[in-house]
Structure formats: structure tokens, C-alpha cells
A and B are shown apart, each in its own frame.
Chain A
Amino acid sequence: MDLDQLISRATGLTTGAGAALLGRLQSVRLPGVGTASAKDDPATAARRWRAVTVLAAPDRLADLPSPLAALGDRVETRVRPAPGDKGTELAARFRGPATDDDLGRLRQALRETKQLVEVGEVLRMDPRPHGERADTPGGRLLDGAVAASRKEGLL
């Protein structure tokens, strides 16, 4: 086996290992990803109130801003003053069973609602300047995490 073949073989093995790792990581259920929780079973996690505190008076949330309104009757909401002049607690949850994707949409809707009320717009990020994006397993993993990050987290 000459040097080129050896390097080619090693590269192939590395890529395969990276892909296998990526596949394995995608199947791991981490707290804050979809309905996964450190302790709750998925059904309990899906039924928890998800809440943001908005620095505004409760009447600013009387008519639900569009991100939450778009989820329609499937979602129930709760609005109450936050203690210590911290604004208004806006909580929401699905009335019935919810999937990982449903919870992701709810998290994103709550975050965007808070931004719209507090600053009047939702932060945009793209297009943004960047150089050449090398196609690597680690890069693909990070791309996936970033793409999901508005919909995931502990909210």
C-alpha cells in the first residue's frame, strides 16, 4: 500500500467514525432537547408550563403577539405580574399531547414574543459574513445545534 492509499484509507475511516458518532449523538436524548428532561417522563415534560418574564405591563400581553397566536387553540396561556417589578410572566403549554417539534415551536414562539414586546423586532442573523465552511463532522454537528438552538434549551 503506497502513502496515498494509506492516507485515503485513514481519511475514509475517520469520516466513517465521525458519521457514526454524529448518528449516535443525534439519538441521545439530552435534557432541553424536545421533551427530554433530566427527571420528568416525556408526557410530564410536555405538560409543563414554559414561561418567559417580559419587562412590560400585563395589558401589553392581553392580545397575544403573532408567534404565540399562530399556535392557535392547541396552546393555553397564563399571564400574571412578576414579583419585584420584574414585569409580566407569560407562560404557555399545549392542552393535549405534544411532540418534540411542538415543544420546539412553543419555545421559539415564547422567545420571539418576548423580543417583539420588549424591543419591537426579532433578531435576524443571516446573511452574515463568513469565510469558507469546511465540511467536517464537527462542523455538521455544530450546524445542527445552531439550527435547533432557537427551539431547544431549558425553556
Chain B
Amino acid sequence: MRALTWTGVNQLSVEDVPEPQLLNDHDVILKITRTTTCGSDLHLLSGYIPFMRAGDVIGHEFMGEVVEVGSGVRNRRVGDRVVVASFVSCGNCWYCRNELYSLCDNSNPNPGITEGLWGQAIGGCLGYSHAVGGYAGSHAEYMRVPFADVGSFVVPDGVPDDRALFASDAASTAFTGVDLGGVQPGDTVAVWGAGAVGQMAARISALVGAEQVVVIDRLPERLEQARTHAGADVIDYSSTDVAAELRERTGGRGPDVCIEAVGMEAHSPGPQGVYDQVKQQLRLQTDRTSAVREAIMACRKGGSVFTLGVFAAMVDKFPLGAVMNKGLTLRGAQVHGPRYIPRLLEWMESGELVTEHLATHVMPLEEAPRGYELFKEKQDGCVRAVFLPHG
């Protein structure tokens, strides 16, 4: 079959690879109908997550049709149209039973790597490096999905593919931040980053009752989408003092909940940006955290800061004093997909949550390297490139 593979830093290729097989009783094989780029893929592409092997098939946000079912699968049938959570979850360990699905004990076959990095191993993630399992990803014609009863969800007939696709990761990641960040009715929520995850965080915050939602970015086309489709107020950080603007809009308090949806390659104007770039390039820190710093400083006293963007390991110049002295709750998580995908599909079916506008560039899988180039360089207004492996 054809698949998009990582072949080296900033190098991708579409090539022939073997088809996947059922390996465990709880697996299904999926015919991929739609699969999309994610901002976190760019960290793999740029070489900031050094657990990629040349030839790895990438991609973790996708949907498709079940074409083969393992003997232990109970709730999926051949022909089901499903959307799949990006993290793999067994459904039976203590973490899964407590809906902390991305922390699954049994889905990362390479636990030694992340135990060394973080003290404990987290769950496996499809198509996202050998640190989280080394699973083949979704930018392919077919894919193996382990523990399919837990991680795959039948898409209601009324939800089109270009909407359901984003329940897989972008919207469920956003919901993770909104829920665990503690957004309450009446809150003011600030979201750093107007990519797909940031836009979804803004919209879902409004759906759960936030009274005011502000999205921060520098790209006008993304800010316009956040305004139009998420109903958010927007701030262009390249021309505005973000903290001052937020104070002005919140009676001097600051946002109740600050959601960071940028990750380890945050851009920042001025000396701070140069400092972070130099230290990251010299591998003296693994992550650039300007958005997290700004969120911590802007957040109201006693408020909540949630890191949704992907970070790898160590950071520098972290305002821990502000966290402690302002009584902030600082929390982060990878996506707990199965906890949120059913509710997201309901909102998608009712029309309260729409995502089609995110798919700015739809193309055949053969053109995926060009799609990633558009996405990485943010050319031609690209918010997400969506690939169609079967045309």
C-alpha cells in the first residue's frame, strides 16, 4: 500500500509499504478515508522528538471504514464508519477506568523510553514516534487500530467526514483542556494559538458556558476563523500587548482559565524569542515556552493554566514564582479521546460544533509532502491539510 513516511529531519516521502495485519484479538484494520496534519507532527518533522526511525509511517488524526475485525472485538463490525482516538487505550487499567485514557498502562510497548524521560510511561500514540509505541500512523491506505472497542467510535449518519475527522484529535484535545482546565459557566477563557486545537478550545469553552473567550495568535486568517466560527474575540500578539489587552478586557483581573495550544515551537517577538530559539537549537532546552510564560503571567489570581501543546522535556526561565504566589493551578495532559469523542459527535450532529473550515487544503495522499510544506510554513492560509488515501 502507499503511505507517507518520515525519512529524516524535514524529509517526508510517499512510498510502498507492507499492509498492516491483525496482531492482537482486540485489533481492527481500518481503510483510511481521511487523515490530517497536526501541529504536533511538526515537532517530529523538525527533529525535536528524537525517537523517529527513517521509514516510520506518521499521522494520528483520522477516520475510516472497518475492513477486518479481530476475534476479541465486540462492538465494531466490518463496514462501520468510525473516527479513532489518537492515543491507544486498553480500557481496563486503573487509568482507563478513571477516564485518563492517554495515561493507559498497557498501550505503550516501549515503556523504558518514557520512564527514563518522565518518571513513568504514558500510553501509546498512533503514528507518533517510538517513545510512545512506534505504531504505524494513519497517513496510509490501511491501518491497524489496537483495542478498537475502546478507541474507535461509529460516526452518526448526519455527521459528514470533514466534520467527524477532527473529533479524532483536535477537538478532543481541546475538550481535554477545557474540561480539566476547569472552565465554568461565566468564565473568561483565553486561548493561546488559533490553530485547529485552539479554535476548538475556544468553541468548546463557549459550549460549556464561558461568557467571554479570547484567542491569541499572529496569523490573520486563523484569527478570522476563530472570530467567525468560534465566536471568539481575538488578539494579534505581533502588534498588541497581550497582557495589557487581557487586563483591559477583564476589569484588571485576567482570564479565569488560560489554555495554551501552541507547544514546544512557540514563536515570540523580541529578545525572548531569540533567547528561546538559540537555547533550543543548542539543545540547552528542549522546548520554547513563550506562550506558557505569557499565560501564567496573564492569568487571574487563583486561576487555571492548562498546557495542551506538546512539550518534550526541559524548559528554561519558567515563572514558577508566579504559579506559586498567585495560587495558580497548572495542569497539562495529552488527549483523553474516548472520554470526549461521544459528546463531540453529538455536538457535531446537532450542528453546534462545526469543523469543516479547518480543512483548508484537501488533497490525495500522494501530495502529502506538499501538504506538510504548506502546513509547516503556513502558506496559502493553510490551517490543516487533509489527505485522501483512496482518492
Complex contact B144–A131 (CB within 8 A): no
Q: Interface-forming stretch among A20-28, A91-99, A121-129?
A: A121-129
| B113 interfacial contact with A, CB 8 Å | yes
| A50 interfacial contact with B, CB 8 Å | no
Given known contacts A124-B23, A124-B24, A125-B23, is B94 in contact with A87 (CB within 8 Å)? yes
For the complex formed, measure the closest distance between the CB of A85 and the CB atoms of chain B, giving whole angstroms: 9
Bound together, the chains give a CA A73 to CA B173 distance in angstroms of 47
Contacts of A44 in B (CB 8 A): none
Residue of A nearest to B130 (CB): A146
Contacts of B119 in A (CB 8 A): 154
Bound together, the chains give a CA A154 to CA B57 distance in angstroms of 29
Complex contact B17–A123 (CB within 8 A): no
Complex contact B55–A134 (CB within 8 A): yes
Complex contact B112–A150 (CB within 8 A): yes
| A79 interfacial contact with B, CB 8 Å | no
The DSSP consensus for interface residues of chain B is loop
Complex contact B107–A131 (CB within 8 A): no
Interface size counted on chain A using CB atoms at 8 A: 43
Bound together, the chains give a CA A75 to CA B228 distance in angstroms of 64
Interface size counted on chain B using CB atoms at 8 A: 54
| B61 interfacial contact with A, CB 8 Å | no
Q: Which residues of chain B from 45 to 71 have any CB-CB distance to chain A below 8 Å in the complex?
A: 50-57
Bound together, the chains give a CA A155 to CA B105 distance in angstroms of 12
Contacts of A130 in B (CB 8 A): 5, 17-18, 53, 55-57, 136
* The residue from A31, A120, A125, A139 contacting B54, defined by CB atoms under 8 A apart: A139
| B134 interfacial contact with A, CB 8 Å | yes
| B7 interfacial contact with A, CB 8 Å | yes
* The residue from A86, A118, A154 contacting B115, defined by CB atoms under 8 A apart: A154
B-to-A contact residues, CB < 8 Å: 1, 3, 5, 7-8, 13, 15-21, 23-26, 50-57, 72, 90-94, 97, 105-107, 109-113, 115-116, 119-121, 130, 133-136, 140, 144, 146-147
Contacts A/B (CB < 8 Å), 23 sampled: A31-B116, A111-B111, A115-B90, A115-B106, A118-B105, A118-B106, A119-B91, A119-B106, A121-B24, A123-B107, A125-B135, A127-B18, A127-B21, A128-B136, A129-B17, A129-B140, A131-B16, A132-B54, A133-B55, A134-B8, A142-B53, A146-B130, A155-B111
Task: A114-B106, A142-B53 are known; give 14 further A-B pairs, CB within 8 A.
Answer: A32-B116, A53-B94, A128-B20, A128-B136, A129-B17, A129-B18, A130-B55, A130-B56, A130-B136, A134-B55, A153-B112, A153-B116, A153-B121, A154-B119
**9 tightest Cβ-Cβ pairs between the two chains A and B:** A152-B112, A153-B115, A149-B112, A153-B112, A131-B5, A149-B110, A131-B55, A124-B23, A134-B54
